[in-house]
Amino acid sequence: MTETTAAPSTQLGALPPAAVNLLAALVEALDIPHPACMGGQAEHDRILNERVMYARLALRSVLAGNTLGIEWDTNYLRERLAEHPPTTYVTHEQAQAALAEGKTWTEAVTLPAEDDR
């Protein structure tokens, strides 16, 4: 049996702030809430696909060295994420909160009117 040793780990605090900020933006891009029901799945997936595309572009740009700087790529990514917010479908958390308020399931999974958002 051979002995294995773990590779030394780098703590988050040891990374440059620009790298930490980029990692946070990548998590922000990918970690969007699940839809409350199948009716919101297509919209969730559409938004997530857009956000994944911009996350991949940022990573490719940084890793290829084709960048104006990590800070620029991070800001660009966040600007694109703001254009694709996960607000056009009802999330599981939103539905649960509506049910706790006494709404019916149908009311809980229906988006409010545009004026109420």
- Mean pLDDT score across all residues of the chain: 89
Residue 32 to residue 86: CA distance in whole angstroms? 7
83-99 tens-digit pLDDT:
999 999 999 999 999 99
Answer for the pair 105, 39: CB distance below 8 angstroms, yes or no: no
Q: Which percentage of the chain shows pLDDT scores above 70?
A: 88
Which one, of 91, 94, 110, lies nearest residue 34 by Cα?
91
Of all helices (H) and strands (E), which one includes residue 19?
helix 17-30
- Which is more confident, 12 or 86? 86
CB 70 within 8 A of CB 22: yes
Confidence of residue 8 (pLDDT cuts 50, 70, 90): low
Report, in angstroms and rounded to the nearest whole number, the Rg of the chain calculated over CA atoms: 19
Task: Categorize the per-residue pLDDT at 116 as very low, low, confident or very high, splitting at 50, 70 and 90.
Answer: low
* Residues 96-117, mean pLDDT to the nearest whole number: 86
User: Encoding tokens for residue 81?
Assistant: 């994420």
Q: Taking the complete model, does pTM exceed 0.85, yes or no?
A: no
16: three-class secondary structure by DSSP: coil
